[in-house]
């Protein structure tokens, strides 16, 4: 499983606190972990040191600041072969790390970033994103329109979706039948007949979201008081059924090897399970399903805007988007890419979400600090109860 999948739990951060901190420390340089220092940038170069040496109208280099393990060398090489532009990629491990670096005066080092939807508003308000030139991005028609014109970027003036993650239930039909369990609703995961047969992703916010869904409440509107009820539900109803709290290879293997009957997992893990075990299937609920989306965006004042827009059009073309979803197995919003993926992936609903998913879903947003703290407290108690 890609490292990117494990980092979704970084959503539990209050952006207001981050923005205040960067205002206080931004002029003093970056802080926190740095997954890729300047030495990784082709001899320590920064954006703007390269000129059009080939006379083709384009700069020789384009600077991408991206999640680790989220772009293939094949795609970067293909872009360079086609346009003569080398992609110089530096990586980060969280939205917070990326945001801190940009607000610490290093924004001009990069042309393109890949923030998650719930960080876009903060980036816009901090004047860190460059709007697309009108008509410059020509690939919006490739997308399922459900992914566009979202609240975080109305009209897609600054962003276009890349790949996403949804929380899903994937189960082994044969094992569930043998246990006498039918999955039609979130609350079915609390069926006592599932004792020691449930895998739950290790995500503190995900635990309480599951409880809210099982109780028929809205996970997008959590309260501290409501989380007390969620804790009680998790301890009494869910924990007895849990075989493992995990979202890594161990959890995947339990479901692939028929060691557990059902899992509440991220879509990337679900896609792998569906691909590797023909007895498994996706169970989509009629209550709110969560979705988060990483997006392509340009850094404010980027020195290679023309090249950045060219690259964004390239990676959102159907053929290249197909290569990227084949590599990642995340949610692909680019429906035109479906024609170019393998037959198995075409039918993998964890990658290409069916229409029913969008009948009742919500986009993951910023988690306020009091809710994040309470999520952590609940998770500690719940995991110790098993």
Domain tally, the chain: 2
Same domain? 173 vs 148: no
Question: Residues 6, 269: contact at Cβ < 8 Å?
Answer: no
Q: How far apart are CA 325 and CA 332, in angstroms?
A: 6
Question: Residues 7, 94: contact at Cβ < 8 Å?
Answer: yes
Same domain? 257 vs 316: no
Residue 255 belongs to a domain = yes
Same domain? 169 vs 191: yes
Q: How far apart are CA 329 and CA 382, in angstroms?
A: 30
Same domain? 15 vs 125: yes
Same domain? 109 vs 223: no
Cα pseudo-dihedral 335, 91, 112, 130, rounded to 10: 110
Residue 159 belongs to a domain = yes
Planar angle of CA 132, 312, 119, nearest 5 degrees: 65
- CA separation (Å) from 158 to 61, 132, 300, 324, 334? 22, 6, 10, 21, 17
Same domain? 178 vs 159: no
Q: Which pLDDT score, from 0 to 100, does residue 31 have?
A: 34
Same domain? 74 vs 133: yes
Q: Which pLDDT score, from 0 to 100, does residue 251 have?
A: 87
Q: How far apart are CA 337 and CA 346, in angstroms?
A: 9
Residue 302 belongs to a domain = yes
Same domain? 149 vs 47: yes
Same domain? 298 vs 240: no
Same domain? 76 vs 142: yes
Residue 97 belongs to a domain = yes
Could you read off the pLDDT tens digit of each residue along the chain, which spans 386 residues? Answer: 454 554 444 444 445 555 545 444 333 333 333 444 433 433 345 565 555 545 578 999 999 999 999 999 999 999 999 999 999 999 999 999 999 999 988 778 999 999 999 999 999 999 999 999 999 999 999 999 999 999 999 999 999 999 999 999 999 999 999 999 999 999 999 999 999 999 999 889 999 999 999 999 999 999 999 999 999 999 999 999 999 998 678 889 999 999 999 999 999 999 999 999 999 999 988 777 899 999 999 999 999 999 999 999 999 999 999 999 999 999 999 999 999 999 999 999 999 999 889 888 889 887 888 999 999 999 999 999 87
Q: How far apart are CA 37 and CA 123, in angstroms?
A: 22
Q: Which residues pair with 65 in a beta bridge?
A: 90, 113
Residue 354 belongs to a domain = no
Q: Is 153 exposed, middle or buried (0-12, 13-18, 19+ CB in 10 A)?
A: buried
Residue 328 belongs to a domain = yes
Same domain? 100 vs 227: no
b/e 175-200 (16+ beta carbons within 10 angstroms → b): bbeebebebebbbbbbbeebeebbbb
Residue 352 belongs to a domain = no
Q: Is 368 exposed, middle or buried (0-12, 13-18, 19+ CB in 10 A)?
A: middle
Same domain? 35 vs 159: yes
Strands (E), the chain: 61-67, 86-92, 112-113, 129-130, 159-172, 198-200, 242-245, 262-266, 280-283, 289-299, 361-363
Q: What is the pLDDT of residues 210-248, one digit of tens each?
A: 999 999 999 999 999 999 999 999 999 999 999 999 867
Question: Residues 127, 94: contact at Cβ < 8 Å?
Answer: no
CATH number of the domain that residue 367 is part of: 3.40.190.10
Q: How far apart are CA 351 and CA 285, in angstroms?
A: 16
Residue 8 belongs to a domain = yes
Instruction: Note down the domain range covering 285.
Output: 165-290+361-384
């Amino acid at each position: 499983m890609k490292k990117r999948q494990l980092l979704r739990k970084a959503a539990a951060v209050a952006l207001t606190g981050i923005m205040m901190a960067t205002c206080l420390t931004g002029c003093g340089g970056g802080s926190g972990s740095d997954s890729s220092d300047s030495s990784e940038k082709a001899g320590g170069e920064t954006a703007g040191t390269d000129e059009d040496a080939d006379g083709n109208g384009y700069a020789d280099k384009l600077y991408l600041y991206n999640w680790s393990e989220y772009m293939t060398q094949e795609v970067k090489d293909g872009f360079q072969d086609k346009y003569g532009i080398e992609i110089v990629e530096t990586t980060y491990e969280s939205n917070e790390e990326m945001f801190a670096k940009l607000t610490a005066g290093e924004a001009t080092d990069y042309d393109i970033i890949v923030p998650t939807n719930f960080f876009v508003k903060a980036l816009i308000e901090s004047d860190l994103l460059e709007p697309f030139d009108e008509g410059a991005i020509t690939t919006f028609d490739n997308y399922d329109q459900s992914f566009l014109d979202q609240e975080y970027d109305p009209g897609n003036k600054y962003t276009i979706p890349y790949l996403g993650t949804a929380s899903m239930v994937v189960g082994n039909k044969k094992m569930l039948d043998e246990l006498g369990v039918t999955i039609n609703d979130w609350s079915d995961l609390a069926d006592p007949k599932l004792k020691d047969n449930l895998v739950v992703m290790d995500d503190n916010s995900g635990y309480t979201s599951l409880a809210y869904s099982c109780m028929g409440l809205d996970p997008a509107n959590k309260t501290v008081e409501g989380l007390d009820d969620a804790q009680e539900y998790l301890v009494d109803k869910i924990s007895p059924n849990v075989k493992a709290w995990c979202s890594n290879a161990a959890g995947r293997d339990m479901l692939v090897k028929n060691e557990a009957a059902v899992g509440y997992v991220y879509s990337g893990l679900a896609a792998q399970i569906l691909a590797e075990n023909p007895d498994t299937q996706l169970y989509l609920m009629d209550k709110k399903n969560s979705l988060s989306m990483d997006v392509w965006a340009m850094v404010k004042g980027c020195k290679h805007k023309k090249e950045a827009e060219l690259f964004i059009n390239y990676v959102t073309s159907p053929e290249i988007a197909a290569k990227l979803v084949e590599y990642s197995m995340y949610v692909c919003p680019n429906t035109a890419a479906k024609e170019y993926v393998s037959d198995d992936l075409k039918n993998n609903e964890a990658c290409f979400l069916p229409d029913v998913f969008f009948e009742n879903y919500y986009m993951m947003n910023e988690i306020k600090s009091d809710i994040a703290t309470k999520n952590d407290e609940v998770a500690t108690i719940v995991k110790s109860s098993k």
